[in-house]
Structure 1
Amino acid sequence: MVQVPDVAYDCDVLVIGGGIVGLSTAYAITRAVPGTRVMVLEKEPGPARHQTGRNSGVIHSGIYYRPGSLKARYAVRGAAEMVKFCAEYGIAHAVTGKLIVATEREELPCLHALVQRGRENGIPVRELGPAQIADYEPEVQGLAAIHVGTTGVCDFAGVARQLAEGSGAEIRYGADVIRVDRRPALGVAVLTGDGSVVRGRVLVNCAGLHCDEIARLTGDDPEMRIVPFRGEYYSLARPELVRGLVYPVPDPAFPFLGVHLTRGIDGDVHIGPNAVPALAREGYAWGVVRPRELGTTLAWPGTWRMARRHWRYGAGELRRSVSKRAFTAAVRRLLPAVEEGDLVATAAGVRAQAVLRDGTLVDDFLIQEGPRAVHVLNAPSPAATASLPIGREVARRALAMLGNA
């Protein structure tokens, strides 16, 4: 193992992961305590190459999340902060509002529950009937809808780049973490793929799709595993059919929001994502298979318990993955005018979903601590929206450890 000397630290806080949460944490640390030496290790050649740069770019309002949860608190606060951050630094963004549309009577109770949840979270919502839906989206049909005015879109990769530049942290790209040696009395030492050893007093794990593996390398058992779900997207060849953002009523049993329509900051309309099991942590297509990673997923008891519990839902998602016709049919529930030929395949993303041993899909952000380590273990959507307050919370914990070191 890597030997940790008692002198010559390379940094005070060593952050693993150069996505938006890791970079926000570095940014928050240097602003809270100027002079703190922060280093970020990112295995890719640049920032935001995975979850941050492969999502729909939506600034979420926080309407979906249980009042009092981290997601609710941080998304509501983070949405306002993200708009302000983008405006301050000239990052492309727009506050567009969005519709959540019920297309079947069975969805109406859930839609009404979202209205109540939104109000409990302090989010302005407007209830709409069928005729009022057309005022916002002439081509969208539904039985009822709610309009959420604080939702928007932005360039999250641009935000990540600004955080990297503004943090003052030393950022090492192409630094794949191979081993971690933690000595509670001394600190941590990390061996990277090029043979370099980096020493820090406190480690922060923001490794996203690999966060559980980094936690285990550190010597902490997170009692969960990341099960990767690929989200596949299409681009709409007739973007004039959609003015803004249109969502279905989500299934409350899952932390996924369903196939939705998003007019991005570039003017293109993206449709998706679904949620299908990925065969690798970075499995952006069915042909990407990494046997070791797949074996880790299949060896986790929670994977099989989750599959037994939710196989019907999963079967529908798989069908829409392999059948463009089935995917189109799902879209037509919201947008009847769309045709199969209107959907053009585009880049997919992978969601790092934490799953507990009993098969429970972790629904909230999950942050754990170990000796000289803070682990961010579940930070899928809306983590990009909430990245500024998440970063401050992780920074607070890391600085407290640093102060006690």
Structure 2
Amino acid sequence: MHYRSREVKQVRIVYDCDVLVIGGGIVGLSTAYAITRAAPGTRVTVLEKESGAARHQTGHNSGVIHSGIYYRPGSLKARYAVRGAAEMVKFCAEYGIAHAVTGKLIVATEKAELPRLHALVQRGRENGIPVRELGTAQLAEYEPEVRGLAAIHVGTTGTCDYVAVARQLAEASGAEIRYGAEVVRIDRRDALGVAVRTGDGTIVRARVLVNCAGLQCDEVARLAGDEPGMRIVPFRGEYYSLARPELVRGLVYPVPDPAFPFLGVHLTRGIDGDVHIGPNAVPALAREGYGWGVIRPREVGTTLAWPGSWRMARRHWSYGAGELRRSVSRKAFTGAVQRLLPAVTVDDLVPAAAGVRAQAVLRDGTLVDDFLIEEGVRTVHVLNAPSPAATAALPIGREVARRALAALAVT
């Protein structure tokens, strides 16, 4: 009896890259940079739907290099912000990017805030951050126009041009950056990697997918077949410029409410000499809704369909009402600023560009406070990376790169 041999045909996949990063903000570009530094020769492609880098969260913030004083000791935010602040200053100096380490003041304007201010001193010390406690007279030496009962000075805070940082990361990474490439479909075969289709019909095949899509990160995770367990609820951060910038020398912050991941309305002298005031945080009617006139019904529907949105609203409605009031009333916004800067008037506030914060909200209504990075089969998802993600971009990028390269090693 004769047996006919069976030839087993193996499917040979031609990959366009080893790691495909979705999102050309500072976190996505830092990840590409970290991968090529850690594993030279790894082919990395970055897909960004906009026509250039850093068009959303990275390019719409106050430019502050955060010290890490606010964040729970041991948390990713605390560790990465402290480390990232020093690394960001070094990176800017190495590449000639505009930056300044000015320090900042955190000011208590009411007696009820004094215990929280003292708690920040302790937290700063636990995080290894130099903190100096100030009385009223010492406060005036730093900021003559600012009023408060007490303050602390945090010397490692500064400002920089994060858009320039993102562009430099893109150039230095050596990755292929494709702009105008919106992801519309992801096909994942556990043994064969991922295939991503962009809006113009282009197919990009990769061994490992990294999701750094920011405001769209939960949507991208679901396209990849991974349920993230959270949804992005966008909050618009509204800013003003100070018509009399001479009133503020540096960076001045209120004592934050620990129940919220927002720092309150603060004063920031940028590297260009302008002073920005804000942000006021209100729900946005689109994930890229930089004004009240930008409304995307499908995205509003996604937010309203998520149970966590309603639970968050019930829990924090009074805080939200105050933010909305300051959004529609410049007089109310001015009143909030006058707690720190009594000399400011309504006429001193000039509307400036707004930003949108990609805030992850869990099903139970919890606002995710720390950075959130999850993994699937051949996928790594950055699901919560709002402020201080720009400050911490270099260590975040290394952590995401580590996970992506580990996934690559088992393919």
Partner residue in 2 for 1:150: 156
2:208 alignment partner in structure 1: 202
- Look up the match of 1:288: 294
Which runs of structure 2 are paired with 1:315-354 in the superposition (5 Å)?
A: 315-354=321-360
Counterpart in the other structure of 2:83 = 77
Q: Do structure 1's residue 47 and structure 2's residue 53 form an aligned pair?
A: yes
1:5-404 equivalences under 5 Å are 6-404=12-410
Question: Cα distance, 1:200 vs. partner?
Answer: 0.3
Q: Tell me the secondary structure at the aligned position of residue 361 of structure 2.
A: strand
Hey, what's the Cα distance between the residues in 2 that align with 1:200 and 1:297?
31
CA drift of 1:231 comes to 0.2
Task: Give 1:6 shift.
Answer: 4.1
**In 2, Cα distance between the equivalents of 1:47 and 1:158?**
9
What is the CA deviation profile of residues 312-340 of structure 1, one whole-angstrom value per residue up to 9, with x for unaligned ones?
Answer: 00000000000000000000000000000
**Matched residues in 2 for 1:350 and 1:109: separation?**
31
For the residue of structure 1 that corresponds to 2:374, the secondary structure is: strand
If the length of structure 1 is used for normalisation, what is the TM-score? 0.99
The answer to whether the 8 Å contact 1:56/1:262 transfers is yes
Measure, in 1, the Cα distance between the counterparts of 2:362 and 2:323.
21
**Aligned-partner SS, 1:361:** coil
**What secondary structure does 2:105 align onto?**
strand
- Find the aligned partners of 2:268 and 2:391 in 1 and give their Cα distance: 15
Q: Which runs of 5+ in 2 are unaligned?
A: 1-10
Instruction: Measure, in 2, the Cα distance between the counterparts of 1:388 and 1:33.
Output: 16
**What is the RMSD of the two structures over their aligned residues, measured on CA atoms?**
0.5
Shift of 1:7: 1.4
> What is the SS of the residue equivalent to 2:268?
strand
Q: What SS does structure 2 have at the residue aligned with 1:232?
A: strand
C-alpha distance in 1 between matches for 2:243 and 2:34: 40
- Aligned with 2:280: secondary structure? coil
Report the Cα distance in structure 2 between the residues aligned to 1:365 and 1:355, rounded to whole angstroms: 12
Amino acid aligned to 1:209: L
Code of the aligned partner of 2:57: Q
Residues 6 and 273 (structure 1), Cα distance of their counterparts in 2 relative to 1, 3 Å cut: farther
How far does the alpha carbon of each residue in 1:242-270 deviate from its partner, in whole angstroms, 9 at most, with x for none? 00000000000000000000000000000
Q: Offset of 1:151 from its aligned partner?
A: 0.1
Contact kept in structure 2, 1:223 and 1:357, CA below 8 Å: yes
Q: What do residues 50-71 of structure 1 show as CA deviations (whole Å, max 9, x unaligned)?
A: 0000000000000000000000
Q: Count matched residues.
A: 401
SS at the partner of 1:380?
coil
User: Counterparts of 2:266 and 2:362 in 1: how far apart (Å)?
Assistant: 27
Q: Distance in 2 between matches of 1:146 and 1:284?
A: 33
> Where in structure 1 do 4 or more consecutive aligned residues deviate above 6 Å?
none
Counterpart residue identity of residue 19, structure 1: G
Cα deviation, 1:31-78, whole Å, max 9, x if unaligned, reads 000000000000000000000000000000000000000000000000
2:205 & 2:330 partners in 1: Cα distance? 50
Letter matched to residue 87 of structure 2: E
Q: Deviations over 1:92-135 (max 9, x none)?
A: 00000000000000100100000000000000000001111000
Q: Please report how far the alpha carbon of residue 289 of structure 1 lies from its aligned counterpart in structure 2 after TM superposition.
A: 0.3
Does the residue aligned with 1:190 lie in a helix, a strand or coil?
A: strand
- Partners of 1:216 and 1:202 lie apart in 2 by 16
Task: Determine helix, strand or coil for the equivalent of 1:274.
Answer: strand
Contact 1:246 1:262 in 2 (8 A): yes
Q: Which has the larger radius of gyration?
A: 2
TM-score after normalising by structure 2: 0.97
Cα deviation, residue 8, structure 1:
1.2
What is the CA–CA distance in structure 2 between the aligned matches of 1:204 and 1:136, rounded to whole Å?
A: 44
The answer as to whether partners of 1:189 and 1:200 remain within 8 angstroms in 2 is: yes
Contact 1:6 1:186 in 2 (8 A): no
